[in-house]
Amino acid sequence: MTTPVLRARGLVKRYGRVTALAGADLELLPGEILAVIGDNGAGKSSLIKALSGAVVPDEGEILVDGRPVSFSSPLDAREAGIETVHQSLAVAPSLDIAANLFLGRERRRKGVLGSVFRMLDRNGMREEARRQLDALGIMTIQNPGQAVETLSGGQRQAVAVARAAAFGSRVVIMDEPTAALGVRESRAVLDLVLQVRDRGLPVILISHNMPHVFEVADRIHIQRLGRRKAVVDPKTISMSDAVAIMTGAMEPPS
């Protein structure tokens, strides 16, 4: 059996009296798109936050390539090769595309200009940004020197996805990437998700949109009441059955 790239075992997270995660498990296999679905309050967000380092779980363990890790901040998860595209996108609107791609990990110029004067390698970062956007087939858009706030919702999403794809070495997590988008833009972002997977990066996709989930996912993780209720194959289960399991109207097939 292949070792999961990312594995969570028995995660528990409590907020006061509310238990968001009640012993949640998750397994992400190499090269797959794992969709995570669940009703509101099922613990999707908490699960994803724990995996991306945004919250620290009270109990349980997270393993990357079979080795236990502990994330105390988003930086730790990033260093482990896990990149997250947050629902809020986490971009700085007034900065340009290249600056956002490298936000928090800027590159400096070589030599004295970089070491003494701390000068940024603007051109290098712009070129790299262009390469990354090109690789995902989205640099038909604009130049990387354009401010992100002048982009449409789908374009911003593309920038956030490109950032994750550029720096994620092990896992890319995407939280509701199509939630705020129209049909055409959703389509393009789903293509991006598939492209990220085709480059060999496994993807965790959180979504409420069942048609999207069934279209791109290799496996579907159904979260219910803070636990993993089932993992189903979208090719063998119907959309309505998946929703029935998600809402507790049906027990998963064994």
**In the complex, which residues of this chain contact other proteins (CB under 8 A)?**
54, 74-75, 78, 84, 86, 88-95, 99, 103-106, 108, 117-120, 122, 137-138, 140-142, 147, 149-152, 154-155, 158, 182-185, 187-188, 191, 211, 215
Residue pair 101/163 in contact (Cβ under 8 Å)? The answer is yes
Closest separation in Å from C-beta 229 to other proteins = 26
Q: Which residue in the block uniquely carries the two structure tokens 């990357």?
A: 64
Residues near 135 by Cβ (< 8 Å), separated by ≥ 6? 165, 199
Nearer to other proteins by Cβ, of 15 and 117: the residue is 117
Closest separation in Å from C-beta 1 to other proteins = 31
Nearer to other proteins by Cβ, of 80 and 230: the residue is 80
Count of alpha carbons within 13 angstroms of residue 127, beta-carbon side: 5
Query: Residue 37's beta-bridge partner residues?
Result: 222
Nearer to other proteins by Cβ, of 31 and 167: the residue is 167
Nearer to other proteins by Cβ, of 137 and 253: the residue is 137
CA angle 191, 193, 195 (to 5 degrees): 70
- Give me 171's structure tokens: 């896992």
Closest separation in Å from C-beta 225 to other proteins = 27
Closest separation in Å from C-beta 139 to other proteins = 9
Q: List phi, psi (to 5°) of 64.
A: -110, 120
What is the H or E stretch that residue 41 is in? none
Nearer to other proteins by Cβ, of 3 and 143: the residue is 143
Closest separation in Å from C-beta 78 to other proteins = 6
